[in-house]
Structure 1
Amino acid sequence: MKIIILFCISCAVFSTLGETKKINEDQSLAVELAYDLDRVPRASQLRQSKLKEKEEIQNSKNDKDPDNNKKKRSKKNQKKKEKITVKKSNRKSMKESKRKSMKESKKKSTKQKKNGGDKKGSKKGNKGKRQKKNKNTKKIKGKKTRKTGTYKNAGISKQDTCYDDLLAKTKKFVLYFYQSQKLNRITSWVKLAQNKKAKALSTFSPARDALGTSTNQGTSCAGNSSALGAANTTYNTLVSCNTTASTICDVSLNATSDTLVTSCTTALATYIADFRACLKTGACSCFQGLEEAGAECENFLTLENQIKAEKNDCINPDKTGSFGNCRQEERLATTFTVVCCASHAVTTQAPGRRHMRLNLNKLFHN
């Protein structure tokens, strides 16, 4: 019995010891886990602090000597420039070497030609010369010979001269177009002046007669004596307008200029019409076949200026006795006739009411 009891007691002791070991092991594991959990954020904090220290050190260095960065950059740029210069020098050296080699090869070829050279080399050189000659002859074919002005290919002659002919014909077209406009202006101005001349003989007589009756032939102005002087001047100008205006407006062309204008207008008009027709077809032969007007039809500037000046004198209101001046005085004559005839106005008695009624009844019943 004792033995059994002792055995039981020993088993209980061993079991308690095992449990205490497990408890100790669990406690140690828990302590290690807690340490590890504390260890992770501490490591990250340490890293961040180290990085901040490095940045502060670099900033302090830069503040102390800011030229360090510039020096580093300048060194890099110098290295790049050195590389570029090396490349350029290598290229130049290659080009020079090629030039030297080409010069040497040319010298050798010239020496061989002087000495006679090999037969093979001479044959090759002759072949190259023949090929060059053939190329030159091919290029020369179809070209214009400068001395004679003829062409080796006879069918190309018209096409080659077409550009020059067309250019000359277009220049003539522009010249003739402007000259035809000048001729049209000359003829229109002459017609205008001749019409004014014909009108001047009779158009101012009614105003002259009316002013003469109101002013007693320019001697009195009963309505307003202060207007007598102006009325008298207008009356005197109107009296002579039929002769002065007709003489000033006598614009005409002499026999030679008249024949020249008529002939040149037709010649220039035909050339302009034919040129426009050729533009529609586009054929070179059409342009080449155009008949040009003579040199006498290429300058009408002096005649245009002469007729223009005579026409302006005819219609100028500031020139005394001209058609324009007489027309201006005619408008003033209307006012002077009214002013000077004011005292001679006859007043009539207004009709009575009985007469008005009778007249109205007649109108409605009829």
Structure 2
Amino acid sequence: MIPFLDLNEVNAPYLHAIEEASLRVIRSGWYILGNELKAFEESFATYCHVAHCVGVANGLDAITLILMAYGFPEESEIIVPANTYIASVLPVAYLGFKPIFVEPDPATMLLDPDKIAEKITSKTRAIITVDLYGRSCEMEPVMALARTYGLKVITDAAQAHGAIYKNKKAGSIADATAFSFYPTKNLGALGDAGAVTTADEALAEKIRFLRNYGSKVRYKNDYQGVNSRMDEIQAAILNVKLPFLDPENDRRRRIAARYLSEINVKDLVFPPADRIEDDAWHLFVVRHPDRSKLIAHLDAHGIQTNVHYPLPIHKQQAFLEYRDLKLPVTEKIHDEAISLPLNAVLTDEEVTYIIQTVNHFDCQQ
């Protein structure tokens, strides 16, 4: 069986360094808001070519803290992509704002900038873009539109560590960017962890307060904050793995290039091939009208796949008030999407086998 993702294999090259880093933290006696986190924040900010990085507990909290720090009024409307993981939208609802769903571009499966303006009202305060599957959203028109209407742009780059858009790294383009370092990410911790990057010094400073109960000085609370701090062990592990992010992303790009050039199946819809060297290729998501048969075919031949994601947000029990929304592009994507294995530890032989097996699917029809 070729697993969709084997985290033991992913972390094996760094296991000794991870063990050393973890032991160093354990022996230090300092486990929260210490030197390991400071070092990672500085290194990741440098990597993203941005002034500030604030480590938090997870990617969902990163989005939540950005929205909290901006202090938008009650009943604000926040534009969100309809095709994304629910974590991109939960903070909007949690804080009492109204998510306004916008359909994706069918080709990229990302937020369609041409469909945003019609959704903007006097209550709109921000646009959340999502760099889904490892590809940066088309940010130039989004930023221009936001400046025209006086809106903030927040990017969820949880799947796009190291992605590039017009020579700019993910994390340096929007007003604020949220990252997740969940273990399956291109840059993954060994537990939950997240971060916010921004060029806005005042915003970064407020998020530093908010993540720590609204406090900078112990027992003095300037804001009604939360407890959302990346712990020292996760920061130490990320410090170990960050130097290897670009080489691993390059490996992902080579695999994606092979999939794009060598797979040939009728009715199979591919992700765009125009930015192979810029996309981070966190996932390789294809679409097929008979998804269940393709999944069964691959499973029968020992290839594990995944579906990102089977049910759109507006059809989830948690968002029943939106169940009557008509979002046909999003719904079609969720009905057809299949993620093929793509990670830096796949061997050339495994990639060849996956390609040959997918191509053989036509013979089974």
**TM range, smaller chain:** under 0.3
| Structure richer in helix, relative to its length | 1
**Greater Cα radius of gyration, structure 1 or 2:** 1
TM-score, normalization by structure 1: 0.16
| Structure richer in strand, relative to its length | 2
TM-score, normalization by structure 2: 0.16
